[in-house]
Structure 1
Amino acid sequence: MPSITAVRRLLAAARSAGGPYGTVLEVSILALCLPWEAVAIDLEKIEWATGFVEIPARGGRNRILVLPGDARATILRVAGSASGKGQAVTAGRGKRLEARYVRLDRLQDYLADTVSDAIEIEGWNFHGIRVAGERALSAAGRSPAETATALGRYDRGVQPPRVRAEIAAMALETWCSILRDTTRQRGRGAS
């Protein structure tokens, strides 16, 4: 599992790298989602006010992925406006990026080739980032249920999907504030 400091560096590297791969990585970190989920986001399906977007889930279902404000800002930066159509990570331009091309090894290679600082970030993967997020949210006082909801773990019908999404939104906003909070890093040491 990477430290919060390493996740911050990875996020900065993704922003520097840009392009669809950098956007996939950036959205995955900010929304604590998996890369294939980031690739599934279509611009016209995003509820910009809430950050809710329906994406395909395993088992033939759909789920609401929550895009916190920072992730929406990333998508708006890439797309140029909220009125676009098509795949969010490619800004709706050109050929859609397919989920099979956003494997961990390819993203790591892409970062290593485009951002020299990314070479020094070792041992990260998407599940490790999610575990780092889970631990950080717990340390910030979020309940296990809120954290699980932010990670897209289902309660199998206990709560309606939009209620789960609202809970996830609060937790993900906390996560993004943790990523932005560099004073914690300086004041208490790297977490």
Structure 2
Amino acid sequence: MKKILPRLALLAAPFLVYFALFFAFEPYDYFGVKGGASSEDSVITRVRAYLSAPEDAIILGDSRMAHFDMNAVAEASGRGWSNLAFGGASLNESIDLFYLAAENNPSLNTCYFGVSFYTLRAGDSRNRMEAIGTVVKNPVAYMLNFDYNADMLGELLLRDPGRRRLGGDRFCGRGRQRAARTPQPDRLCRHAVPKLRKAGHTARD
């Protein structure tokens, strides 16, 4: 037994280290101990926040609803809200998310539902809520999910000062944009101004 335990500890060490890294760098504050997520508009972040502290009024929809200023909404309405809208949400996903919210908060009494013409069509049958519902309620499923592990590694590389110094920015977690990929204003000006001048000369001619 004395020989087996050290070997088991040695075998478990890489997994423990990896899960410790996952816990430290997962971008959605899944466990609610970081004081805020680096990806606040993620469906995982919003549903987990709702499950831990549900409000009796919710907002559902795609990115048009997700970008509401919730402080302004609460001030104007005089009550607390949970914004469960997220970018690219289909109609089916929003409906299933409503049922998930209602099941976990019997006192839910108000729901504003944003529907866009883009998602209100017969061909849009996307529905990821079965997988999302499993992940938000099962930490093991979350930690073993490939996409969320990719996002964690992306967050880890973002915080690596040596990688930022070298300008290495090729890795990106799925569904997340990196600031280094955004064209800088001076670069935009250098490229845009000559084209505008050329267009102006052409128009005058």
Same-fold status (TM-score > 0.5): no
TM-score, scaled to structure 1 = 0.25
The structure showing larger relative contact order (alpha-carbon pairs under 8 Å, at least 6 residues apart) is 1
Larger of the two Rg values belongs to structure = 2
